[in-house]
Every structure is written in C-alpha cells, then in structure tokens.
A and B are shown apart, each in its own frame.
Chain A
C-alpha cells in the first residue's frame, strides 16, 4: 500500500519568513496530492492541492511543487503570519480513491 512520509514534524519560523514542508510517497500510481491545515480541535481543511500532470501550483502565499520521478512534493508558505500556526498534513490519493496522510507538521509562527 501507499506510504507517505512527512518532514519536519515541527517547524518554528519568525513572522514574515518562509516555511517549507516536504513529503514523499511510495505508490507511483498516486495521482492527487492535497494539503490540509488542521487547527487544534478542528477538522482538516484543504488549503491547496496538485494533480500528477502538474509540477507546480500557487495560490497567493501558498505553493505546492510535485516531482513525480522522485515521488516527492512540498508545501511552501511565504510571508508567514501567526494565523498560519497549525498542523499541516500532506496526503496522497491512489487510483482506488484512498487518501493516505503524512504524519503532520506542527508549524509555529512567532510574532
């Protein structure tokens, strides 16, 4: 089955700096890669996603890159703000429509 590794598990940055979270996956048939933000006690919320036929996608301060050959994808947050503090999860969806999540990254943005 699919295995998704996520790094780092915690990340602390100063407000205004950039944050990068990296994930690798094992199943080359996976074709959809969403990123979720989960605040304490709340539901995971989709913040950006990328499909396997695209190498990069950007939405304001958030961007995701995908390297299918190397089977890794990354989340980039620029100009971080305190409200970006949360746990971020990457995920990979295989052809069977099943999402496998990474272990999460706790991002702390210090004002």
Chain B
C-alpha cells in the first residue's frame, strides 16, 4: 500500500477484555515502531522491531502489553485485561532503514476506548 495502515480505526473494549491492534507497514520497511498517544499529549514510544526481531520493548507499560511481528511485516499489538488507563490512540510507524536518522511514516492510529 501507499502508507502505513492500521486497523481497526476505533475500538471500544470493556474493562478486562483483551484487544489486538494491527499494523501493516509500508512494504519493505525494516523498522516498525508502536507509540501510545494519550489525549492532548505527544506520542510515547512503546516498542521497536527490526524485521521480525523486537529490539526494544522498554516502553511497554506493563506485562499486559505484548507485540509481535512474526514475519517481519505485519505487526500486532495485544493488550490483555484492558484497563481504563489504556485508553489512548495507538500509533504505528515504519521506516526503511534499520539505523537512526530517518523519519518514520505514521499510520492513522487506532483509538482505543476502555469502558
């Protein structure tokens, strides 16, 4: 596709429910990032993949958050036993280079609301 695609665009989950958010990066992009953006704030780093390898997961807020990219393309961010504080927009971004110094292209995000 032409850009980074995320689905679903909106997700409402009941507290305690598990959710899975999908990211389709730009074809051929080796780097993939997940960010969490709370209302009125800047995106905050969650995790980083280089191809299928998860090289940095230091931003994941708890062990309820899990991300995978098994074939080095599509990635899924899973949140188990969702809590109200998980409500945010989850942004995915991809980059064609493995090293730093190149801007990431963002998807439109998934807005998660936990009720």
- Pair A102/B42 contact, Cβ less than 8 Å: yes
Interchain CA distance A34-B100 in the complex, whole Å: 12
Interchain CA distance A88-B45 in the complex, whole Å: 17
Contacts of A89 in B (CB 8 A): 42-43
- Residues A18-60 near B (CB distance < 8 A): 31-32, 34, 36, 42-46, 49, 51
Kindly state whether residue A62 has any CB partner on chain B within 8 Å: no
Contacts of A44 in B (CB 8 A): 43, 91, 106
Interface 1/0s, chain B 99-113, versus A by CB < 8 A? Answer: 111111111110000
- Pair A95/B42 contact, Cβ less than 8 Å: no
Can you name the residue of chain B whose Cβ is closest to the Cβ of A52?
A: B101
- Pair A32/B48 contact, Cβ less than 8 Å: no
A-B contact pairs, 7 of them (CB 8 A): A43-B107, A44-B43, A49-B103, A96-B100, A97-B48, A98-B48, A99-B43
Contacts between chains A and B (CB distance < 8 A), count: 55
- Residues A88-111 near B (CB distance < 8 A): 89, 91, 93-104
Residue B100 contacts which of A45, A95, A102, A103 (CB distance < 8 angstroms)? A95
- Given known pairs A31-B101, A43-B109, the reply for A101 and B91 (CB within 8 Å) is no
A contact residues vs B (CB 8 Å cutoff) = 6, 31-32, 34, 36, 42-46, 49, 51, 89, 91, 93-104
Interchain CA distance A49-B101 in the complex, whole Å: 10
Interface 1/0s, chain B 28-66, versus A by CB < 8 A? Answer: 000101000000111111001000000010000000000
Contacts of A91 in B (CB 8 A): 42
Contacts of B45 in A (CB 8 A): 98-100
- Pair A99/B109 contact, Cβ less than 8 Å: no
Can you name the residue of chain B whose Cβ is closest to the Cβ of A91?
A: B42
Contacts of B105 in A (CB 8 A): 46
Contacts of A6 in B (CB 8 A): 42
Contacts of A104 in B (CB 8 A): 40-42
- Pair B42/A101 contact, Cβ less than 8 Å: yes
- Given known pairs A42-B108, A99-B45, A104-B41, the reply for A93 and B101 (CB within 8 Å) is yes
